[in-house]
Amino acid sequence: MQGYNFRDKLVSQTYDGAAVMASALNGLQAKVKAIAPSAMFVHCYAHRLNLVLSQGAKCLSECRVFLASLSGFATFFSKSTKRANFLESAGCSRLPRNAPTRWNFTSRIVNTVANNYDGLLQTFDNIIADKTMDDDTLDCAKGFVRKLEDFEFVFMLYTYEQIFSETDVVVDIVQQRAMDVLYCKKRIESLLAFVKEKRSEGDFQAVYEKAAGLTSDPRNEPLRKRRQSQFQDPQERYRNLYMAILDNLMEQIPLRFSNLESLRFLELVNPGKFDEMREVFPEEAFQSVLESYGQYFDFGRLRSELQVLYSNQDLQGNRGKLCDFLLFLKDMELDSAMPQLYKLLSLVATIGVTSAGVERSFSCLKRLKSYTRNTMGQGRPSSLALLAIERTMVKSLEKTPTWYARVTDHFLEKERRAELRYK
């Protein structure tokens, strides 16, 4: 590492929120920053968003009960091939397994249950009517039918389906390998705006009426629930629950992404604000660069180049992604004419916002290093891991006509006991 002079070149580091990585006292990021002071720590956006959803759900007992019940659907069908066959015969999609640390998995099961609601009811009715089923299966099937016919469960199902329709998009975006922090920051801000927009009477009524149309009237609740809410109108109770779920998300998003102020300098290259910054120069954002990366820039020249950028419409011709704008400057040979601006854009493009792509390789090893492969040597699991991690590239190679032939020829080069070549 010494040969690369990383102390001056390291400008950012991205990890999850584990104490061993993120702690400001003795975590890895603190130790790296002690050597390279400019290495700004960015808590992985994908992990932050996962915490927003998980902590938002833990605040309400109704959410915890709903999510626990939901995971039971996938467990019920995964334990028996016979049960799964009933599910397939009803034309339902296979229910994905839930994962407490991966909220996009929870989103999948919510969408699957919501889209196959009628088919699931038919599946459980067929299981109950089957005379060969054991007592435990019948008891579980009746319980799931009661859940699907319960107003509160269906209300929560469609509430979360509405929320996940937006969070799924953001989760997919912040997990991409090549993603600039400016674009991710915009998506997080748009997610907060979406949650605020959904906190309206019209959106609540849409979910409430949809749930009421699939189940019995919410006033026909079990005796225990009636006693708990005997002085409150049922619709008012569910309105408060709906608003509380969204309020938790509105509280968690700013809390988990509170240190985005340290990235205030990203506004300097935000194409959506060029017209506004042409009128009033963003002094606070400009000072943010000085505080974080003062040793890298000539600030007098950087200010002048930014003012030229804001006032020159031709220079703003490419207002797409940050990387596209960098390529535009490079192609027009403006990187040497405006070096400070080009350096700032390169800095913003370098800052990482997610470690999910790197960690995905470790998750992949769990599927490769199974019990039946414990006796394999190190070389084969490494090769299998490489194929699994780079599956996008492998699929693109499959389109090459001679690819399979070349792989087969390479495999046959080694002397083998069995004759594999057709003669």
Domain boundaries along the sequence of the chain: 1-43, 50-256, 356-412
Residue 179 has pLDDT above 60, yes or no: no
Mean pLDDT of 188-201: 89
- CA–centroid distance for 327 within its chain: 28
Quick one: pLDDT at residue 181? Answer: 67
Mean pLDDT over the full length of the chain: 79
Mean pLDDT of 234-260: 86
3-state secondary structure of 221: coil
pLDDT digits (tens, 9 = 90+) for 107-123: 888 888 888 888 888 88
CA dist., res. 347 & res. 353, Å (int): 13
Quick one: pLDDT at residue 82? Answer: 83
The Cβ of residue 303 has, within 10 Å, a number of other Cβ atoms equal to 16
Residue 100 confidence class, pLDDT cut points 50, 70, 90: low
Mean pLDDT of 199-210: 90
Find where tokens 């990235």 sit.
263
| 156-193: b (≥16 Cβ within 10 Å) or e | bbbbbbbbbebbbebbebbbeeebbbbbbbebbeebee
Lowest-pLDDT choice from 33-47, 312-326, 358-372: 358-372
pTM for this predicted structure: 0.70
Quick one: pLDDT at residue 227? Answer: 47
